[in-house]
Homo-oligomer: A and B are copies of this chain.
Amino acid sequence: MEIGKEQTALQVRSLVRKNGELELSLVRVPTPAPAADEVVVRIDASPINPSDIGLLFGAADMSTATQSGTPTNPVVRASIPEGLMRAMAGRIDESMPVGNEGAGVVVRAGASDAAQALLGRTVAVFGGAMYSQYRCVKVIQCMPLPEGTTPAEGASCFVNPLTSLGMVETMRREGHSALVHTAAASNLGQMLNRICIEDKVGLVNIVRTQQQEDLLRSIGAKHVCNSTAPTFMRDLTEAVSATGATLAFDAIGGGKLAGQILTCMEAALTRSATEYSRYGSTTHKQVYVYGMLDPGPIVLNRSFGFAWGVGGWLLWPFLQKIGLAAAQKLRERVVAELKTTFASHYTKEISLAEALRLEEIAVYAKRATGEKYLINPNKGIAA
C-alpha cells in the first residue's frame, strides 16, 4: 500500500471568469483523511462523457482555445460568447472540479467495518471530481467490482448503464411497451440495444449515417432509421407501428426531430382509426430530451393531436423518484453484466495533462459516436 502518496492529488479544474474567459488547468489539492464511513480511492480510469464535457467547457467556443503552461502543467484558455454568459452566471469565478464517475483501488479506509471491507478492492465511484488522482468518498458512493474486473472496465458503471436501464424502467412505469432512441449508435445506445434484446423490448434506433446503421444492425438491432434518408418519415412510421413505441428518449434536443417522432407515432396510431377525431389519437405520446447534442431550439410542428408531451429527463432525479431499493436493483444488474451488456469501449486512454492538450480536446470535444476517451489520472505517474 502506498501510504502517504495519496495525501495530495492533481485535479482538473474548469474556471469561468467574469470577463468571459474559460480557463482549464491542473491544481494540486490535499486529499482529506477518510472519516469512519469514507475511503480514499486512487482513480485509475474515468470516462469523458458528454455531461462532463458540458461542465468542462461550459459555453466556451473551443475554436478560440489557446495553449499555455508546460507539458506537465498545461493551461487552456478559450472565450465564451457574450450572449451565453447569462447561462454561466451561477459558476462565475468558481474553480470547478470535473468528472462524474470513475473506478480505481481503495488505498485508505475509515474505521467502520464497511469502509475497512473495501480496502484493496477495485471499486466504481460516482460523485464528481473524478478527474483527480485520489478521491475521498463515502462508502455508499462506491460499488465494489467483481474479482478480475479492471478499473478501465468499471469506469463507466453509472452514467450510461443506469441511464439506459432508466429508460427501460421509465417505459415500464409510465405504461409504454416499446422505445425510440436517437443518437442510437452511441455507447449508451449500444447498451440500450443490448438491454432491449435481452429484455425483449421493441426498440427503434434513429441514427444519422449509413455506418451507424450498419454498426447497430451488426449488433442485432432490428429497427434502425436514418434521419438523413429521404424516406425517413415513412421508415420511422413503419418501425414505430411495428413496435408500438409511444415513448422516445432524445439525446439531441435541438431541431425538428422530437416533433417528427411524435408525428410518426401519431400516424402509426391513427392509420388504423375507424372514427375521425379532430384532437387526434387519445394515446399519450412522449419524448424525453435527456441530452443537448444540439443546443439550438426544439421546434415542434404539431401534427400529433393533443395527447403528447415533451420534457427534460435526467438520471439522478429519476433515481430519486424510484427510490433506493429500485435503484439498487438496477446497480446490481450493471455489476452482473459489466463485461457484456454494459461494456464500454474507448478510443484512447489519456493522462490528466493530456486531457488539457488542444490536439486531444479537438478529438473528444466533438463527442462523436465511437470517439470516446478514458482518462487515467495516474497514467505516467511513477508508482
Interface residues of A (CB under 8 A from B): 54-55, 86-87, 90-91, 94, 96, 253-254, 259, 270, 273, 275-279, 282, 289-290, 292, 295, 297-303, 305-314, 317
The complex places the Cα of A306 from the Cα of B315 at a distance, in Å, of 10
In the complex the two chains form, is A310's CB within 8 Å of B313's CB?
no
The complex places the Cα of A298 from the Cα of B303 at a distance, in Å, of 11
- By beta carbon, the residue of chain B nearest A286 is B311
- 30 of the cross-chain contacts (CB-CB < 8 Å) are A86-B303, A87-B303, A90-B276, A90-B277, A253-B302, A254-B302, A259-B297, A282-B317, A289-B302, A292-B302, A295-B302, A297-B299, A297-B302, A298-B298, A298-B300, A299-B299, A300-B300, A300-B310, A306-B312, A306-B313, A306-B314, A306-B317, A307-B314, A307-B317, A308-B311, A308-B312, A309-B310, A309-B311, A310-B311, A311-B311
Q: Which chain B residues lie closer than 8 Å to A270 at the CB level?
A: 90
Q: Which chain B residues lie closer than 8 Å to A299 at the CB level?
A: 297-300
Q: Which chain B residues lie closer than 8 Å to A273 at the CB level?
A: 90
- By beta carbon, the residue of chain B nearest A317 is B282
- By beta carbon, the residue of chain B nearest A314 is B306
How far apart are A124's CB and chain B's nearest CB, in angstroms? Answer: 22
Beyond A91-B278, A310-B310: 12 further Cβ-contacts under 8 Å? A55-B278, A90-B276, A90-B277, A91-B276, A254-B302, A279-B314, A289-B306, A298-B300, A298-B302, A299-B300, A307-B312, A309-B309
In the complex the two chains form, is A301's CB within 8 Å of B297's CB?
yes
The complex places the Cα of A286 from the Cα of B300 at a distance, in Å, of 16
* Most chain B beta carbons < 10 A, residue from A96, A254, A301, A302: A302
- By beta carbon, the residue of chain B nearest A96 is B276
Q: Which chain B residues lie closer than 8 Å to A290 at the CB level?
A: 306
Q: Which chain B residues lie closer than 8 Å to A278 at the CB level?
A: 54-55, 91
The complex places the Cα of A297 from the Cα of B297 at a distance, in Å, of 11
Q: Which chain B residues lie closer than 8 Å to A303 at the CB level?
A: 86-87
Q: Which chain B residues lie closer than 8 Å to A279 at the CB level?
A: 314
- By beta carbon, the residue of chain B nearest A254 is B302
How far apart are A215's CB and chain B's nearest CB, in angstroms? Answer: 28
- By beta carbon, the residue of chain B nearest A282 is B317
Q: Which chain B residues lie closer than 8 Å to A254 at the CB level?
A: 302
The complex places the Cα of A116 from the Cα of B273 at a distance, in Å, of 37
Q: Which chain B residues lie closer than 8 Å to A275 at the CB level?
A: 90
* Most chain B beta carbons < 10 A, residue from A55, A275, A310: A310
Q: Which chain B residues lie closer than 8 Å to A277 at the CB level?
A: 90
How far apart are A132's CB and chain B's nearest CB, in angstroms? Answer: 18
Q: Which chain B residues lie closer than 8 Å to A94 at the CB level?
A: 276
Do A297 and B295 contact each other (CB < 8 Å), given the known contacts A273-B90, A276-B90?
Answer: no
Q: Which chain B residues lie closer than 8 Å to A289 at the CB level?
A: 302, 306
The complex places the Cα of A166 from the Cα of B273 at a distance, in Å, of 28
The complex places the Cα of A317 from the Cα of B281 at a distance, in Å, of 11
How far apart are A354's CB and chain B's nearest CB, in angstroms? Answer: 24
- By beta carbon, the residue of chain B nearest A312 is B306
The complex places the Cα of A259 from the Cα of B300 at a distance, in Å, of 12
The complex places the Cα of A306 from the Cα of B310 at a distance, in Å, of 11
Q: Which chain B residues lie closer than 8 Å to A307 at the CB level?
A: 312, 314, 317
How far apart are A105's CB and chain B's nearest CB, in angstroms? Answer: 29
Q: Which chain B residues lie closer than 8 Å to A317 at the CB level?
A: 282, 306-307
In the complex the two chains form, is B308's CB within 8 Å of A309's CB?
no
- By beta carbon, the residue of chain B nearest A276 is B90
The complex places the Cα of A87 from the Cα of B303 at a distance, in Å, of 7
Q: Which chain B residues lie closer than 8 Å to A309 at the CB level?
A: 309-312
